[in-house]
Amino acid sequence: MLFTETALKGAFVIDIEQRQDTRGFFARTFCAQEFLAHGLKPTVAQCNLAFNHKKGTLRGMHYQVTPATEVKLVRCTHGAIYDVIIDLRPESPTYKLHVGVELSAENRKALYVPEMFAHGYQTLTDAAEVVYQMSEFYAPDYQCGLPYNDPAFGIEWPLPLSEISEKDTSWPLFESVLDSSHAQPGMRM
């Protein structure tokens, strides 16, 4: 695997290294030893699959707080998405900054999302399918989110919005909460 750190400290785009022959290719998509060698958390507690019918669908911006903070490894296995992460670690030099990466079945890239990063994506195609490896179990009492269009971050999404959940339109603005690191269990940020 090839690990390329994004502009956000600790967040990586991971490319596969193809071993090709006449049958096609073989590639490793996850290796705990390689993740550890890059200082990344290799724990996998659960894997999730999201299927999205329409181009322009938006999911996010989600994260979990202590004691259930989670690492995500996100890959698009069908279609394409524009994946966005926001650094919510107050001690980080990239605090409140975000990056966006196109993940697709064609480019086979994955995005490593560290703990205390908000994560969301917009589908660039119909029938987009996304696979997540999670370091922590889903803990609804510790889930938080931010609006996809929060002015504190100025994220520019590539397409007009076609679908979004009611829950994802109801998260409070970042500036209405003193500091994301002070979130308490059950507190919707």
Q: Which residues are catalytic?
A: 62, 132
DSSP string, 108-170: --EEEE-TTEEEEEEESSTTEEEEEEESS---GGGEEE--TT-TTT----SS---B--TGGG-
Q: Please, are residues 62 and 87 in contact by the beta-carbon 8 Å criterion?
A: no
Helix (H) or strand (E) holding 62: strand 58-64
* Token pair for 3: 């690990």
Helix (H) or strand (E) holding 5: strand 2-5
Strand, helix or coil for residue 180: helix
Q: Which amino acid is it at 122? A: Q
Cα dihedral angle (172, 174, 178, 183), rounded to 10 degrees?
70
